[in-house]
Structure 1
Amino acid sequence: MTDTINALAVAALVAASAVLTWAVETRARALLARPAEPPAAEFQALPPGARWLVCHDTACGHMTTRHLPQLDGTHRCEYSARHRGAVHLTHTTTQGDQ
């Protein structure tokens, strides 16, 4: 009976040490692994005549957005399609930029 108990104790000890070794190795590998390189950012050229102006529309959250030149000399937010149709609350003349 004692031999059986000793054998079970040894088997449990071997199993526990194997699990503990696996857990430590896995955690050590995760800690020592080099993080993956993030992909490089792709920058786009600014269209000629574009300006960064505050957009006073709630769709843009009243933040500075890129405004593109229009044929009549005004500037319109590049996200104007998200605004309320043709209504745009931002001053688009040069007098409104000051």
Structure 2
Amino acid sequence: MKYVVRLAGLSDLLSKIFRGGVFMEIINLQKQREKIKRATYNIEEIAKLLGVSYKLASKLVHSKGFPKIQIGRRILVPKDLFWDWLKTNPEIKI
């Protein structure tokens, strides 16, 4: 009989979770993450966009005048500034 009571307690808990409690909050958080669009590229993404190696993209990002944000060791490139920079510097040599 105790075994049946425990299962009933578990099913009550699961039904509360799936009815709208915690489960709905998790879904809402996932939807919020989908809505947030990143405003930056990382070096790997820059390399893929330009069709070059990671090493060459890293050299480009570290070159003088390239728009970047450095937070600790992490380097981020604002998307709009990257495309503006690319338009104004079509023939850069590294």
Q: TM-score, normalised by structure 1?
A: 0.31
Q: Which has the larger radius of gyration?
A: 1
Q: Which has the higher helix share?
A: 2
Q: TM-score, normalised by structure 2?
A: 0.32
Q: Which has the higher contact order (CA 8 A, sep 6+)?
A: 2
